[in-house]
Structure 1
Amino acid sequence: MWNQNSVTRILGTHYPIIQAGMAGGVTTSSLVSAVSNSGGLGTLGAGYMSAADMKLAIKEIKDQTNLPFGVNLFIPETPVVNDEQITNAQKLLEPYVKELHLTDNVSFSEVQIDFENQLEVILNEKVPVCSFTFGAPSKELVSELKKVGIIVIGTATTVEEAMINEEKGVDIVVAQGSESGGHRGTFLGLFEQSMIGTFSLVPQVVDAVCIPVIAAGGVMDERGVIAALALGAKGVQMGTAFLTCKESGAGASHKRAVLESSETHTVITTAFSGKPARGIENRFTREMQEYKNQLPSYPIQNALTKELRKQAGRQGVPELMSLWSGQSPRLSREVSAKELLESIVSRVGKTLGELNE
């Protein structure tokens, strides 16, 4: 059976399908539990969450499923703070602040996510799976997680990043192609040099490491799953496909933008966070493009635009929202997570059968 392999054995899932840990509120407890209850691995995107909020979300997930699920964390980054750059960025954002009638000007306070407290929650709650983005976890951290039975997943956008993850001791590595929506997990070298498509990246990573490889980037349906398996991956990770599901916490404007877009509508932008990310092009990304070299790096720009993004979402102004999406929005569907998984699973079996005729 295609769905019984090293990944399903390691994760304890019925299918080697992982819902990506999309941070920022998309991965509600309902979405995570629905994916896990349907045989995949639901993942809470906890990158921006406080330890307290993360603990509450984990409790809600446990109340809704007794099957394995994961939590995704961001490896901390220490930016160089440039006061003049921050001031200039605030001035660039002023017109948008006024447009949304925000009472206060955009302010910046360097609030770092407490990674240590997040990890403490992961360990105390004995979360079944913990995945990492924007870097590889240390050997010591991996060992600490494994001691209490937690499966560790790393993220790589190049072969070298995958090899580093394996050297650190992770159980599984996600090979994340350039088709992916939102922020990719690049942590070595220039982002531009890591823009490798899924079809090219996956087989090269498979040949370079001994641990199971998960394919990510542009996978939306059974065809992506079958292609990933043919390339040597043992499973897939899907983000955009789950973003438009009914249980997703993405706003109505965001979902509609993805559902109504095509493959030519996504762009790579640093305007919202200071880190390159793929999303649906809108007025904000177009107007900020000429200033891309003047913006503060992540997570500073992310903090500067936080209230702007939040209010744009609340007011339903998609032209000022971060509309993260992969390169296959035409394949998005407005269904439940269960319906999506059941459809993919049934069609994988049917298509494989047809290929073998």
Structure 2
Amino acid sequence: MAQGRFQQDFAVDLPLIQAPMAGVQDAALALAVNQAGGLGSLPCAMLDLETLVSELTHLKAHTCRPVNLNFFCHQVPAYDPHQQTQWRQRLQPYFDELGITSNTLPTGASRIPFDHQVANAIEPFQPAIISFHFGLPEPSLLQRVKTWGTKILASATTVAEALWLESQGVDAIIAQGLEAGGHRGMFLSTDLNTQMGLFALLPQIVAQVQVPVIAAGGISDAQGVQAALTLGADAVQVGSAYLLCTEAKTSALHKAAIQSPRAHKTAITCIFSGKPARGIVNRAMQEIGTMPNQVPAFPYASIEMGALRSQAETLGLDDFTPLWCGQNTSGCAPISATELTLRLAGLA
């Protein structure tokens, strides 16, 4: 593939990024993508500091190529006992069904945004690339990261978000189309009506910003990669296609759903975490609804749903599992992520 400005600016061979996917991967997937010349990513938002340092140490020992470290930048609201009680009452029939006592559940947040404590842990590694979801850290923290020489990526789901990110000095913008699996990166608005499909969003962002633009959402094969590049993307980020790769940690239940006809029916829902995210429709989404009003703010909704998920999965059920997945699984294959990356680049 022709050497474009993304490869030059980010020191990679291919204009391909493996999307960071929390819960279904660790450093092994990133390393396999790097081996093919793409940019591997490590999802860090749900890692404690000890695990984060361990993963970074592993990466440093096994590659000299850059790796994208991904963090969340959400605002953590105060825990609302009244809202949480209402949510637990809504879910009580499921707790009864699975024999779980809901009044013993924790009250803390399971996802912590990027902060100075995290920065302290990763600074010794001098990360080459960091990407942010749900906006950016506060300015002094962002400036601290920039002093390391780190390149900054961030997700935009609208033109307004892309323009704001550019004004804050990011090095490239990830244009996240509505087709993408997992959490929407939206941060300037909570209105889902602002969200567009990738091939509507991408050319609009490309026309409005000067920094490189990375296309994400619904791309699963070499033809999709080429289409995005033709529409002006400098690189492409692919997530769902990697879910069946041998280096992924995708659960057996999740893999089975991806390989079944169910994968053709995905929806955006907030019930698993409190923020909109796309996944394969399951029992919880069908019965509770995808965007009910009583869901606690992110990330507190995951307290109850996490307990239901854990118990249901011991019974072999994905009824309460967030089966994150985009709208296009046609490129998913049980092969090495190295081979899949080469396929996406049209080299295999």
TM-score, length of structure 1 as denominator length: 0.90
Alignment-mate amino acid for residue 5 of structure 2: S
Contact 2:136 / 2:142 at 8 angstroms: preserved in 1? no
Alignment-mate amino acid for residue 205 of structure 2: V
1:74 partnered with 2:72: yes
Q: How many residue pairs align between the two structures?
A: 346
RMSD of equivalent CA atoms: 2.1
The residue number in structure 1 matching 2:19 is: 20
Alignment-mate amino acid for residue 88 of structure 2: Q
Deviation at 1:314, TM superposition (A): 4.9
| Aligned-partner Cα distance in 1 for 2:234–2:330 | 25
**Equivalent residues in 2 for 1:148-297, closer than 5 Å:** 148-261=148-261, 264-289=264-289, 292-297=292-297
- Counterpart selection for 2:30 from 29, 32, 45: 32
Deviation at 1:253, TM superposition (A): 0.9
Deviation at 1:37, TM superposition (A): 1.7
Deviation at 1:313, TM superposition (A): 4.0
Contact 1:156 / 1:176 at 8 angstroms: preserved in 2? yes
| Aligned-partner Cα distance in 2 for 1:70–1:244 | 21
The residue number in structure 1 matching 2:88 is: 90
The residue number in structure 1 matching 2:10 is: 11
Q: Deviations over 1:52-96 (max 9, x none)?
A: 221111112223322111110000313254322211211233333
Contact 1:79 / 1:300 at 8 angstroms: preserved in 2? no
SS of the aligned residue for 2:154 comes to: strand
Deviation at 1:347, TM superposition (A): 5.2
Deviation at 1:15, TM superposition (A): 0.6
Contact 1:30 / 1:247 at 8 angstroms: preserved in 2? yes
Shift of the 87–262 alpha-carbon distance from structure 1 to 2, 3 Å rule, reads: closer
Give the helix-richer structure, 1 or 2: 1
Alignment-mate amino acid for residue 194 of structure 1: T
Deviation at 1:257, TM superposition (A): 0.6
Shift of the 343–251 alpha-carbon distance from structure 1 to 2, 3 Å rule, reads: same
Contact 1:198 / 1:215 at 8 angstroms: preserved in 2? yes
| Aligned-partner Cα distance in 1 for 2:62–2:104 | 38
Shift of the 217–291 alpha-carbon distance from structure 1 to 2, 3 Å rule, reads: closer
| Aligned-partner Cα distance in 2 for 1:106–1:181 | 32
| More off after superposition, 187-196 vs 257-266 | 257-266
Deviation at 1:145, TM superposition (A): 1.7
Q: Deviations over 1:299-339 (max 9, x none)?
A: 11023322333444454312221101101123322221011
SS of the aligned residue for 2:68 comes to: strand
Shift of the 178–225 alpha-carbon distance from structure 1 to 2, 3 Å rule, reads: same
| Aligned-partner Cα distance in 1 for 2:263–2:320 | 20
| Aligned-partner Cα distance in 1 for 2:223–2:289 | 34
| Aligned-partner Cα distance in 1 for 2:270–2:281 | 12
Contact 1:266 / 1:325 at 8 angstroms: preserved in 2? yes
- Counterpart selection for 2:107 from 106, 109, 119: 109
Alignment-mate amino acid for residue 248 of structure 1: A
SS of the aligned residue for 2:307 comes to: helix
Shift of the 105–80 alpha-carbon distance from structure 1 to 2, 3 Å rule, reads: closer
| Aligned-partner Cα distance in 1 for 2:34–2:291 | 42
Contact 2:30 / 2:40 at 8 angstroms: preserved in 1? yes
| Aligned-partner Cα distance in 1 for 2:95–2:262 | 29
| Aligned-partner Cα distance in 1 for 2:60–2:41 | 12
SS of the aligned residue for 1:33 comes to: helix
| Aligned-partner Cα distance in 1 for 2:142–2:290 | 41
Deviation at 1:246, TM superposition (A): 1.4
| Aligned-partner Cα distance in 1 for 2:27–2:91 | 33
Shift of the 161–221 alpha-carbon distance from structure 1 to 2, 3 Å rule, reads: same
SS of the aligned residue for 1:329 comes to: coil
Contact 1:138 / 1:168 at 8 angstroms: preserved in 2? no
Deviation at 1:217, TM superposition (A): 0.4
Q: Deviations over 1:111-155 (max 9, x none)?
A: 362632222223222122110001123443333222212111011
Contact 1:142 / 1:169 at 8 angstroms: preserved in 2? no
Which blocks of at least 5 consecutive residues in structure 2 are unaligned? none
- Counterpart selection for 1:55 from 49, 53, 56: 53
Deviation at 1:5, TM superposition (A): 1.0
Which blocks of at least 5 consecutive residues in structure 1 are unaligned? 349-357
Contact 1:142 / 1:168 at 8 angstroms: preserved in 2? no
| Aligned-partner Cα distance in 1 for 2:220–2:181 | 12
| More off after superposition, 167-176 vs 335-344 | 335-344
SS of the aligned residue for 2:346 comes to: helix
The residue number in structure 1 matching 2:126 is: 126
